[in-house]
Amino acid sequence: IRVRFRREERRRRRLEKQIRRLERNVQQLKPISECEIPLEIISSAELYNRNIGESRIGEKKILATKEWTRIKLKQYNSDALMIERIINSQQNALDNLMRISEALYKSAVKVDHGLIPWKSNGPVESPPIQEYDSPDGEYLDISKKWDHINSTNSSLAK
């Protein structure tokens, strides 16, 4: 009973202090019921602050990202191994060809320009079009111009 009485007394003092403060500021007073927060809301405030659903979604997203990273790492490693095996087998074939016949080796190593047909005619760069208004907008020169006058020259001018 004493604890309740003390709580009520402290609450009353707090409210009176708020009322005095509001009277000093000469503002429109709030009703006392609006100034105090019910204990039920204070005790359940943690429920309102927690984002349980969002944290679970975040954890799932992080786990999915980690799993995706592992999968892509395995894919990259397998691709790198396959490319390395292909290059090694190609080099072994070229080495065997070199042992058999040097002429065949040179013809195998020679670049074949017919594999990728590409032809280019005309100038590499086009000349600028005369009297073409560029759509960049108007240019307004706002740079300051400073005229330097020597003190000796100004005294001579007088």
pLDDT in tens, 52-74: 566 677 788 899 999 999 999 99
- Residue 151 is assigned to a structural domain of this protein: no
Do 63 and 38 sit in the same domain of this protein?
Answer: no
Residue 141 lies in a domain: no
41, 30: one domain: yes
Domain residues for the domain of 67 are 52-109
* Total number of domains constituting the chain: 2
- 33 within domain boundaries: yes
Instruction: For the chain, count helices (H), then strands (E).
Output: 7, 0
Q: Give the tens place of pLDDT for each residue, 77-116.
A: 999 999 999 999 999 999 999 999 999 999 999 988 777 7
Integer CA distances (angstroms), 18 to 6, 15, 32, in order: 18, 5, 10
Q: Residue 94 falls within a domain, yes or no?
A: yes
Residues 61 and 95 both lie in one domain: yes
Sign of CA dihedral 127, 131, 132, 136: positive
CA–CA gap between residue 108 and residue 115 (Å, rounded): 13
Q: Enter the pTM of the model.
A: 0.38
> Does 19 fall in a domain?
yes
